[in-house]
Amino acid sequence: MTKTGHNRESRLFYQSRSRRPVIDHAKGVYMWDVNGQRYIDASSGAMVSNIGHSDPRVLAAMQAQMERATFAYRLHFENDAAETLAWRLAERAPGDLERVFFVSGGSEAVESCLKLARQYTLAIGQAQRSKVISRFPSYHGSTLGALAITGYTPMHAPFAPMMVDQPKIPAPTCYLDRDDLSNHDRGLKYANMLEAEILRQGPETVLAFIMEPVGGAATGALVAPDSYYQRIRDICDQYGVLLIYDEVMTGAGRTGTYFAAEHWNIVPDILAVSKGLAAGYAPLGAMIAPDRIVSPVLDHGGFIHGYTYAGNPIACAAGNAVLDVIEQDGLLENAASSGMALKAELTKLMASFPFIGDVRGKGLLLALELVANRNTMEPIAPQHMAAARLVDIAYDKGLIIYWRRTRGGYRGDHIMVCPPLTITPDQLGDILDPLRNALTQLESELKQAGAI
């Protein structure tokens, strides 16, 4: 076996030729490769492993379900695990969101939201509504429907001719603005861009607006001013546009409440959740919608949509056990308090590293933005791949933080620091020490290259 643990060529492929060490095992917030190298998982994978790795309570629940039935096709049987989880999600979802449609991941959840929205407007006789406005930058998934509403050029551009061109408005990147507006007014300024776009498109043609309440890797944990959220809700109501919250990353506790919508008391019309729902123990996602939207669709020939693995009993058993762990262990509270502590520590790093331009996020969905000049927020020239380089340096030091592609019309370099919601004060040190070292190394490399 070679140093990386590979003893032969891979037949698998992902996005590039680069290879990673082979995972051996993982426990809590730590992961070990087959060479015995330990990593701290400070990104929860891709903001997935919210309760940490290998929790025996989840493994036992999955084992118990496997011994009953591993698979039961939804058109042949209902299953207890899916029914129970649907009830529990309905109880926790905002407002009247109470009907649950299970899928296997985030892209599928977003696709489902778009198709439910469209079928609803057909059912109520508004067939001319088909446009879905989204934000730039944003990320909503890799399948062609979800990609069409994604504002992320590197992933979107090659496929543009194959997709419907959907309108985009700027994401509320207020931290870049140098105007004299108050934070409140900035929030309104960005929200009002939605109204302008609806009017430009023709309100009767607009089906929905989709947004991540706290952005993911495309924006680096972007949080809008409080005023933004209610104004967006009001605009959608005024023009009969459905408001879809993509909580694929923010849902299931990541921001310190079960759904991020709770921070602003917003009830979206449809909501997508995935990553933390089964927290990496099984592929699982869900769309949650109110009966006022679901019933007309069911009464109008049914919802013409669905996936083979929908409501998979093992995945739903994992989802139920993950929810138990979140509630028994007080992980929402921990995400809120540890998130605040970690954000404060990351903010302190700005004093030592002038090329950290901004620290932002909510709960344990946190990001650093690296810049050439903090005063002007001028980005580091893209050829330096500063964020990607930091991620690589950190990885070699046993610290996993989240990567994103920086090339392709994007400004800025963001690094996501999003450990499991179980993170303890001691473990925060295990993140911050190697992060400090990695930033020191990056700083000297960037200085040498004349980038900062």
The minimum distance between CB 137 and ligand PMP, in angstroms, equals 11
- Please select the residue that binds ligand PMP; options are 123, 132, 171, 248, rule is CB under 6 A: 248
Site for ligand PMP contains 443 (CB under 6 A)? no
Is 225 among the residues that bind ligand PMP (CB under 6 A)? no
- The CA distance from 292 to 267, in Å, is 13
By beta-carbon proximity to ligand PMP, the closer residue of 126 and 142 is 142
222-to-19, 139, 172, 367 alpha-carbon distances in Å: 30, 12, 8, 8
Question: Nearer to ligand PMP by C-beta: 100 or 123?
Answer: 100
Q: Which residues pair with 413 in a beta bridge?
A: 370
Q: What are phi and psi of 263, to 5 degrees?
A: -60, -30
Residue whose structure tokens are 């020239």: 381
211 CB-near residues (< 8 Å, 6+ apart): 134, 135, 138, 232, 243, 244, 245, 246
First to last CA, the chain: 41
- Residue 109: CB minimum distance to ligand PMP, A: 7
CB 343 within 8 A of CB 429: no
Pairwise CA distance, residues 289 & 304, whole Å: 16
Q: Pick between residue 105 and residue 319 the one whose CB is nearest to ligand PMP.
A: 105
Nearest Cα neighbor of 255 from 230, 222, 225 is 222
- Please count the helices (runs of H) and the strands (runs of E) in the chain: 13, 15
Omega of the bond leading into 56 within 30 degrees of 0 (cis)? no
User: For residues 209 and 266, is the Cβ–Cβ distance under 8 A?
Assistant: no
Q: Which is nearer to ligand PMP, 216 or 225 (CB)?
A: 216
CA distance 452 to 439: 13
CB 219 within 8 A of CB 80: no
Work out whether 110 is an interface residue with ligand PMP (CB under 6 A). Answer: yes
Alpha-carbon dihedral angle through residues 194, 195, 201, 202, given to the nearest 10 degrees:
150
Q: Which stretch binds ligand PMP (CB under 6 A): 7-15, 73-81, 139-147, 259-267?
A: 139-147
User: In this chain, which of 45, 106, 220, 253 binds ligand PMP, going by CB under 6 A?
Assistant: 106
For ligand PMP, the closer of residues 110 and 271 by Cβ is 110
**Number of residues forming the site for ligand PMP (CB under 6 A):** 15
107, 121, 219, 422: which one binds ligand PMP (CB under 6 A)? 107
Indicate which single residue of 246, 358, 430, 443 sits in contact with ligand PMP (rule: CB under 6 A).
246
Residue 219's nearest CA partner among 136, 341, 113, 322 is 136
CB of 226 to ligand PMP, least distance (A): 21
Pairing of strands 242-247, 270-273: parallel
Of the two residues 105 and 172, which places its CB atom closer to ligand PMP in the complex? 105
Interaction mask 322-361, ligand PMP, x per CB under 6 A: ----------------------------------------
Residues 36-75 that bind ligand PMP (CB under 6 A): 46
Candidate list 118, 140, 231, 263; residue touching ligand PMP; CB under 6 A: 140
Closer to ligand PMP by CB, 268 or 434: give it: 268
Q: Does 276 bind ligand PMP (CB under 6 A)?
A: no
Binds ligand PMP (CB under 6 A): choice among 28, 52, 137, 141: 141
Interacting residue with ligand PMP among 61, 117, 249, 346 (CB under 6 A) = 249
* Min separation Cβ 275 and ligand PMP, Å: 6
Distance, in Å, from the CA atom of 389 to the CA atom of 446, rounded to the nearest integer, reads: 10
Give 139's contacts (C-beta < 8 A, 6+ positions apart): 150, 151, 152, 155, 212, 216, 217, 218
* Single-letter amino acid, residue 172: P
Among the listed residues 101, 120, 136, 139, the single contact to ligand PMP using CB under 6 A: 139
Write out the binding residues for ligand PMP, residues 370-399 only, by CB under 6 A: none
CB of 107 to ligand PMP, least distance (A): 3
The DSSP symbol for 50 reads: T
Report phi then psi at 424, rounded to 5: -105, 165
Q: How far is the CB of 168 from ligand PMP (least distance, A)?
A: 15
Task: Report the residue number whose CB is nearest to ligand PMP.
Answer: 106
In whole angstroms, the minimum distance from the beta carbon of 445 to ligand PMP comes to: 28
Which residues contribute to the site for ligand PMP (CB under 6 A)?
46, 105-107, 110, 139-142, 212, 216, 246, 248-249, 274
